[in-house]
Structure 1
Amino acid sequence: MNWHLLPLSEISQLLNTTPSGIDAITASERLCEHGKNQIEDKKKKTIVQMLICQLSDFMILILIAAAIVSGIIGDLTDTLIILAIIFLNALVGFIQEYQAEKAMEALKKMATNYARILREGKTMDIPTYNLVPGDVVVLEAGNVIPADIRFFETHQVKVDESALTGESNNAEKNSDDLPKGNYALGDQVNMGYKGTSITHGRALAYVVATGMRTELGHIAKMLQTEETTTPLQKRLADFGKRLSVVILIICTIIFFIGWLRGESVMTMLITSISLAVAAIPEALPALVTIALAFGAKKLAKNNALIRKLPAVETLGSVTYICSDKTGTLTLNKMTVQEIFETSDTKYTAVFEEKNRLLHAMALNNDVSKGENGNWLGDSTEVALVQYANDKNLNRAELEDTLPRIAELPFDSKRKCMTTIHQIQNTTGEIMVITKGAVDVLLHKLNADQNLHIPEFECKVNEMAEKGYRVLGYAMKTLSSLPENLDSNEIETGLTLIGFVGMIDPPREEARQAVLQCKEAGIIPVMITGDHKLTAKAIAEKLGIISSKEDLVLTGIELSVLTQNEFINIVEKVRVYARVNPEQKLRIITALQSKNHFVAMTGDGVNDAPALKNADIGIAMGINGTEVSKEASHMILLDDNFATIIVAVQHGRKIFDNILKFIKYIMTGNSGEIWAIFLAPLFGLPIPLMAIHILWINLVTDGLPGLTLASEPAEANIMKRQPRNSTESIFSKGMTLHILWVGFLMGIVTIGMQAYAIHVANSHWQTMTFTVLCFSQLGHVMAIRSERDSTFKIGFLSNKPMVGALLITVTLQLMIIYVPFCNEIFKTQPLTMYELLLTLAVSSTVFWAVEIEKWIKNIKK
């Protein structure tokens, strides 16, 4: 229902109410009909359902199967380790899902507990959840509006709607009917919305919508959607499915080859099952969790609080950052940017030379100073007084010489405010200072200045094109204070003394952040509730708009576009002005339909649906509402847009490191498979026992692999394009690397086996086992960087890896030389020559990968 377009008489008929309110019986009936005035929750999952959901992930199912297989083999330790990994991931996922439900609870808290209403002409306070359509609410400064309302009586009412519309200025409200047309939420000046607050004045209003039918309720419905899947989750799910099929086929082939060569069925069954367990990267979910937690800890030190761990990685894949303007790209503080003083010198005698405008700015306002010395009052007036104060015009001192004796408060119909001051050292002469919209003031000027109106309009347009909100100041003197303060009489024959251009200025650090975004292949987009001209001016200053092809679209223009029409131009739009919450969500969805990963920043309630449904939602920690924080994936503790760039760098680094781990563990598994597959073809026995495979998989693979999470970022990490969201994790040569390095690892292993069988027959399996272990350690050192040599980045640049390598080598030497371990792992002590030989042979893999990087650098 377009309540803002209907006349009050029709609204009272539709709601069957009067300015005195409804009776108790009607209220009770309507409460049954419309329900309570509160935000409803979607049906929540039980704790059991949440846990089952976490355990049904495809990769987790593979791990469960691996645990069962390990149990069948008889390795209880391995089974317990895998189950611990499953439990850890399920717990983390459960906590994240549980916390996501808090967004709805935060919405509920936005409503006031009690509302003052009229029923049958009597004033009473009732719980806000008992409000019904047709109730008459009594509002005054400081009240939170308890439902969606239509004003029918207002007295200088201003409402803070910034959390809902994104506008930093308080909205002036009246009870007038609006002409037919399309109005953005912020332009519906005769309406009030649930959750916004009265900052000035008093009013009476009809309740027109309650509960989920309010604008806040519509936002709540949009929040009640499923969580988006992160790029990593999508890729790992695809990886897990492909891997399980490959493992099954390979293990079946190896089983039959060994059986046909005469190996016992039980031996080949245990070997095949062991190989299947080895091929499944049990440590992968743990590595992902550790890598993300490690990144989250780093980000917290850089003022970015991660609420949902996958968000860290998602940042690395972001292609668009859709940013709210107010408070995010700007300071959320109106500031005087430019003043223009007219050449008229009629009243310079009253003030100091050329200070008429500054005096007017300091005197014509209702600002006061708080106990802490801060200015209190309307944000626009605070900015004006602050500017004058910075120019050494103290308001308190000026009022001693020009005391205010009367005033005509601001009125949305007049669009003016007038203060009247006694001029000291005169015979009762008084000064009239009027502040207001320039188009209104130009019709109140004296005859002498009317000739200069085109010149004034030219200057005003010049300021407006810069995105400034322009206010005009005019004055005149009277011989005495009129008995009847009639605005039509007092606010005429004025002399214009100047204009003031104001704007909520962009953050300085945001300019650099926008440039870095573009260098990293990320497109910044501004989404705001502000007017088109202001939004465009800010975007140009920030560098968001940098060419004629960059489009600016208003909410009304967007509303007339079909979805296909919008999708066709969405990649060209850089600024969206005067948009509502549904449209923000539409923008996010349109970009996602073009295979973009979208980050959305915001601080208001109106941003919450988009924050929740974006690939990553980023809320402001200082000025952000609780609803926006609970709906987000990440919170900026310093409200600094530039912090996002730091987070993006961390996100890219973490994803790189996860890919390195996958490359490491899959190459190692590939080496094991090649060794077991090729040995029979060369007439050699199965090179490894089941327990050797499990040891390599859990210790040699796991411990050094996990330390890849600590690897520093690549040098060019913020100069490259975001990773294509449609790419497999095995793209960019990873599959080839896994196959050829794994094949080399397998050849080196069975080469060592063949040599050892002929030279040191009793030790051949221990030497083979050790070569495969040390080959993998050489490999993990070599893949620390995609292109830079290990010697260039330094062996000590990742200290946790140095520690992990020392521990792994020590454990391997214990298996070789400790008698107790010899019995468990079926190993024999090696001579010094044999140990050094295995080290030399296993280094082949390290040098091969280093040569591969050297060749890539030559081809660049």
Structure 2
Amino acid sequence: MALPHSDSGAGIGAPFSLPIDDVEALLRTDAGGLTSDDAAARLGEHGRNELPEAARTPAWRRFLSHFNDILIYILLASAAIKAVMGDWLEFWVIVAVAVINAVIGFVQEGRAEKALAGIRGMLSREATVRRDGAWITIPAAELVPGDSVRLAPGDRVPADLRLTQAVQLRIDEAALTGESVPSSKQTEPVEAHVGIGDRRSMAYSGTIVSAGQGRGIVTDTGAATEIGRIQELVQDAGSLQTPLSMQLGKFGKVLTLVILGMAAVMLLIGRYVHDLPFDDLISAAIGFAVAAIPEGLPALVTITLAIGVQQMARRHAITRKLPAVETLGSVSTICSDKTGTLTKNEMTVRTLVTPIGHYEATGLGYDPDGRIVDADGDEASSSDLAALLAVATLCNDAHLVKDGDRWSLVGEPTEGALKVVAMKGGASSAGTTRRDVVPFDSAHKFMATLNESDDGSRAILVKGAPDRLLARALTQRGADGSEPLDRVRWESEVDALSAQGLRVLAAARKATRAAHVEAGDLVDLEFLGLWGIVDPPRPEAIDAIADCHAAGIRVKMITGDHAGTAVAIGREMGLVSDERSRVLTGPELEELSQTQLAEVVRDVDVYARTSPEHKIRIVRALQSHGEVVAMTGDGVNDAPALTRADVGIAMGIKGTEATKEAAEIVLADDNFATIRSAVREGRRIYDNLRKSVVFLLPTNGAQSLVVLAAVLFGFTLPLSPVQVLWVNMVTAVTLSLALAYEPAERGIMTRPPRPSGGSIISRRELGFVLAVSLVIGGVTLAVFGWALAAGAELAVARTMAVTVLAFGQLGFLLNCRFLSRSSLTPAVLRGNPVVGWSAAALLVLQLAYTYLPLLNGLFDSRPLSLLQVGVALAAGVVVFLVVELLKLGVRRPVTVAA
């Protein structure tokens, strides 16, 4: 008999909302657990408690996918025709170009996606389960619905459990919910509509027990668990094409149609106007196609992006997937997790309130470097504050460890915050001994210790929820000793601190002579004051958000935390203002259709109590408006949204392995400010990539125009197909890469993000490219004609034509450095040393092409005289000067800014 199932994927619907007896009845089990036979039968029915492994694309298919480009198809077709014609040298050169491009793409693609493997690695390996009336340890993969499981501190929860016992049980669910404080658990059912962060009666697979003891009944295993549902969301989230890949795709299709159309016209004119031999026409058509195709473009894009990866790594942004470098430059919205990304994920006491006054604590996180100051900014040292800090350090089980310059916490985050503030105020446990303790319990929400001083006096120190301590307090410590408790005042103080997004704890004490302490002894307490605790924003993140806003990039905070805390942190970070501080919670989002969400998604900057499904819906709603979305996160609950976003950004220090594997970029320093630097670098890379494309295309344009003119006017081809490939590859490998190192343009982070879609080359830039192609092609034809007229043989004239094309590109490289202003300035030779090295490399290669016998044989080139070399150099100078005149004649400067 199959267990009942719901649409949510939980074996019995919403077990957290059902009484324990009902859950046991539905799962046909009880506290005694299952028998071995029953467990074996259920294992056969439900399968092993493991997450399914997704099928991976074979390496050979991934390699062949790099040939799936329309421009590569034309190259391969040209190679096939050359093979039929028996021109094997040209055949192998063309094939080598195509294969090299595929190898580069395959290698740069890196390792296959491992997000699902990262999630599977979060599952527990073993579980303590009750079988046949006895507790035994079994592989967690053998758990089945209905098993009774025992939990202890440090355990990783092995499956989704409906808790049946919870003794001071606290579970760290940050990986699922994003909350920095462990969740206190209970056995009483909760409402059916609550989000995962409020399901106090459940323990979820993959989370970690931080304190207490517990038992629970397995309700879901394997893919049916919450973590299994997240894995399914990762699989279903899908990935999107990057803006650059879409632009290159459109550009390639348009270019292909132009090339094929012009080749057809050239064949018709050559055959029917000039009556050229068919073999010569085919060779000319292939030469034209090879000349027109920018086969160096894939390598140029890949290498430019790879250079960007190195630059970003120096800024602590590790790029796992190459296209993400460019996509960052077009990001228009950043959706960020709060805990550990915008905040430090280190609880910090910010405010202290005593019956006498208010105090502020400076410093952030677990580093005790800070002070406690009064309202005037002076260091505080009053007796009322000392009593409050004594509770902070003595009624506390946490301690701090210093490793180099970094402080780390051993214990609960909240207790760590209290220990740190006690150290800032100079309080210590020296001279006192703990005699007894009432551990924290979620039922009474306080902890108490019995401490004895060196003089023999004893006191009960208590910390916990303010309402619980106020209910047990009779007096408060005033300036002149004990005075009646002002409960109204304290309730007002608690409300004021909570409104600031602070978590509020209270302290109290009671003198005693007892040797032991129990919860029943905690009456008639003396109330000492309050602590206001927060996971503080990173100061650098506040500045980074301001910079993002200046760059036209919206930042939205998506967190599993409560709405009040989220809005308070959002306001402090500059995400929202008092006038526009709308927050959308998970339950509210559930009531909206995807269309309704899309209508409001751009107006809401803070989302609270969200689930993994909510994050994906938010990302998709933003993308429906054409937004390019970057999503940051550190927990496994963020992995699906990171996969769906245009750029997934994971935290490298505190992020889970599943999140890192789902992301395109990993921040080595977990710093939101690094994202701003990465966006700036992405914009610079895209600018330089467009400059490189504008520079590269006239090479192909000039060569194809030279071949086309020769056929149309019926004279000898100035270039052979292999010579065309030589010019293309030598300029792409040397000169094209120089522009990838250009520094960022002024004001790069004050302009809005470039819109997605469109063409990588604007119409004005295309017109500029055509004009430059005519200039370089015209100069090349002129030199070729001059050489023939001077009596040079055809091979020498073609060698001069190749040299003019190379030197013309070198002159145009200097034009491209400053497309928006004149390059007739000494500055064109400064600021980018790679330009000089690239020019030297081009000269060396061109000299080898001209004078090495081996290359003379391969490419049919010939040595040139000094006069001929001088003419070629002069032609390059002419190209540079004429292009400067073209730039001068354009009313609005050509710019690469999108």
The answer to whether TM tops 0.5 is: yes
Asked if the contact 2:71–2:256 (Cα under 8 Å) also holds between the matched residues in 1, the reply is: no
- Secondary structure (helix, strand or coil) at the match of 2:605 reads strand
Contact 1:274 1:694 in 2 (8 A): no
State the distance in 2 between where 1:711 and 1:73 align.
44
Moved more, 438-447 or 165-174: 438-447
Match of 1:590 among 609, 621, 625: 621
Partner of 2:612: 581
Taking the aligned partners of 2:67 and 2:853, their CA distance within structure 1 comes to 41
Please tell me the residue identity of whatever aligns with 1:443. Answer: A
Deviations 1:427-478 (A, max 9, x none): xx64232212223333333278777323222222222222111111122334
Name the CA distance, whole Å, in 2 between partners of 1:819 and 1:418. Answer: 91
Point out the more displaced range, 166-175 or 676-685: 676-685
Counterpart for residue 27 of structure 1: 39
1:280 counterpart letter in structure 2: I
1:560 is matched with 591
1:848 is displaced (CA, Å) by 3.7
Matched, 1:538 2:549: no
Preserved contact between residue 513 and residue 642 of structure 1 (Cα < 8 Å): yes
Q: CA offsets, 1:203-238, max 9 Å, x none?
A: 111111000000110111122244432222222222
State the distance in 2 between where 1:248 and 1:281 align: 14
Q: 1:605 aligns with which of 607, 616, 636?
A: 636
* Counterpart code for 1:119: R
User: Does the CA-based 8 Å contact 1:619-1:629 persist in structure 2?
Assistant: yes
* Cα distance in 2 between the residues matched to 1:196 and 1:85: 51
Residues 270, 714 of structure 2: 8 Å contact kept: no
Alignment of 1:228-627 (within 5 A): 228-259=240-271, 260-343=273-356, 352=383, 354-368=385-399, 375-395=409-429, 397=430, 400-401=431-432, 403-422=433-452, 425=455, 430-446=458-474, 452-478=486-512, 480-481=513-514, 487=519, 489-546=520-577, 548-549=579-580, 551-627=582-658
Residue in 1 that maps onto 2:805: 772
Contact 1:4 1:150 in 2 (8 A): yes
CA pair 535-354 structure 1, distance change in 2 beyond 3 A: closer
1:209 aligns to what? 220
Q: Could you tell me which residue of structure 2 aligns to residue 168 of structure 1?
A: 180
Number of aligned residue pairs:
845
Comparing 189-198 and 216-225, the one that deviates more: 216-225
Shift of 1:49: 3.4
* Superposed CA offset, 1:794-825 (max 9, x none): 32433333233233334445555678866765
Secondary structure at the counterpart of residue 728 of structure 2: helix
What residue number does 1:781 align with? 814
Alpha-carbon shift at residue 52 of structure 1 (Å) = 3.6
Aligned to 2:765: 734
Mapped to 1, the partners of 2:78 and 2:681 lie a distance apart of 32
What is the alpha-carbon distance in structure 1 between the residues aligned to residue 399 and residue 722 of structure 2? 79
Deviation at 1:131, TM superposition (A): 0.2
Partners of 1:453 and 1:121 in 2: CA distance = 52
Does the aligned pair in 2 maintain the 1:193–1:214 contact within 8 Å? yes
1:699 is displaced (CA, Å) by 2.4
Q: How far is 1:264 from its partner?
A: 2.4
1:665 maps to 2:677: no
Structure 1 segment 184-199 matched on structure 2, within 5 A: 184-199=195-210
Partner of 2:5: none
Moved more, 314-323 or 516-525: 516-525
Q: Distance in 2 between matches of 1:604 and 1:843?
A: 58
> Does 2:850 align with 1:839?
no
- Say if 2:504 and 2:530, in contact at 8 Å, map to a contact too: yes
2:270·2:712 contact (CA, 8 Å) conserved in 1? Answer: no
Alpha carbons of structure 1 residues 375 and 739: separation in structure 2 relative to 1, 3 Å: closer
Inter-partner Cα distance in structure 1 for 2:860 and 2:111: 49
Q: Deviations over 1:740-768 (max 9, x none)?
A: 22223333334445566656676765555
- Separation in structure 1 between the aligned mates of residue 475 and residue 346 of structure 2, nearest angstrom: 37
1:799 aligned to 2:833? yes
Question: For 2:418 and 2:93, how far apart are their aligned partners in 1?
Answer: 66
Distance 1:67-1:100 versus aligned 2 partners, 3 A rule: same
Q: Residues 377-423 of structure 1: CA distance to partner in whole angstroms, max 9, x if unpaired?
A: 1110011011101211112x1xx34x333332222122222223346
Q: For the residues of structure 2 that align with 1:77 and 1:387, how far apart are their CA atoms?
A: 77
Q: Which amino acid aligns with 1:444?
A: R
The structure-2 alpha-carbon separation of the partners of 1:819 and 1:482, relative to structure 1 and needing over 3 Å to count, comes to closer
Structure 2 CA distance for aligned equivalents of residues 514 and 80 of structure 1: 53
1:52-131 aligned within 5 A: 52-69=64-81, 71=83, 79-80=91-92, 82-91=94-103, 94=106, 99-131=111-143
3-state secondary structure, aligned to 2:327: helix
Q: Distance in 2 between matches of 1:78 and 1:634?
A: 41
Q: Give the equivalent residue in structure 2 for 1:725.
A: 756
Distance apart, 1:69 and its partner CA = 4.8
Partner of 2:62: 50
Q: Secondary structure at the match of 2:439?
A: strand
SS at match of 1:783: helix
State the AA in 1 paired with 2:230: I
Mapped contact 1:362–1:385 kept (Cα < 8 A): yes
Identity %: 38
Distance 2:515 2:685 in 1: 73
- Maintained 8 Å contact 1:701/1:776: no
Partners in 2 of 1:48 and 1:832 — Cα distance? 51
Distance in 2 of aligned mates of 1:510 and 1:470:
25
* Partner Cα distance (1:558, 1:89) in 2: 46
How far does residue 300 in structure 1 lie from its aligned partner after superposition? 2.1
| 1:523-554 deviation line (CA, Å, top 9, x unaligned) | 22211111112122222222222473463211
3-state SS in 1 of match to 2:829: coil
- The letter of the residue matching 2:396 is N
Tell me, what secondary structure is at the counterpart of 2:440? strand
Following the alignment from structure 2 to structure 1, what is the Cα–Cα distance between the partners of residues 81 and 582? 58
Q: Helix, strand or coil for the counterpart of 1:476?
A: strand
Query: Equivalents in 2 of 1:216, 1:735: separation in Å?
Result: 51
The range that moved more, 72-81 or 605-614, is: 72-81
The 2-side partners of 1:337 and 1:7 are apart by: 40
Structure 1 range deviating more: 647-656 or 313-322 = 647-656
Whole-Å separation in 1 of the counterparts to 2:101 and 2:472:
71
Q: Distance in 2 between matches of 1:533 and 1:16?
A: 42
Q: Note closer, same or farther for the CA distance 1:644–1:266 as it changes in structure 2 (3 Å cut).
A: same
Unaligned runs of 5+ in 1: 346-350
2-side partners of 1:795 and 1:41: how far apart?
55
Q: 1:74 to 1:696 in 2, by over 3 A?
A: farther
Change (3 A) 1:828 1:292: closer
Partner of 1:348: none
Q: Are the equivalent residues in 1 in contact too, given 2:447–2:463 (CA < 8 A)?
A: yes
Would you say the 8 A contact 1:618–1:636 is kept in 2?
yes
**Which stretch of the first structure deviates more once superposed, 77-86 or 207-216?**
77-86
Name the aligned partner's letter for residue 734 of structure 1.
E
Q: Given the two structures, how large is their TM-score scaled by the length of structure 2?
A: 0.88
582-591 vs 58-67, which moves further: 58-67
Distance in 2, Cα, partners of 1:292 & 1:307: 12
- Residues 182-222 of structure 1, C-alpha deviation per residue, up to 9 Å, x if partnerless? 21211111111000010111111111100000011011112
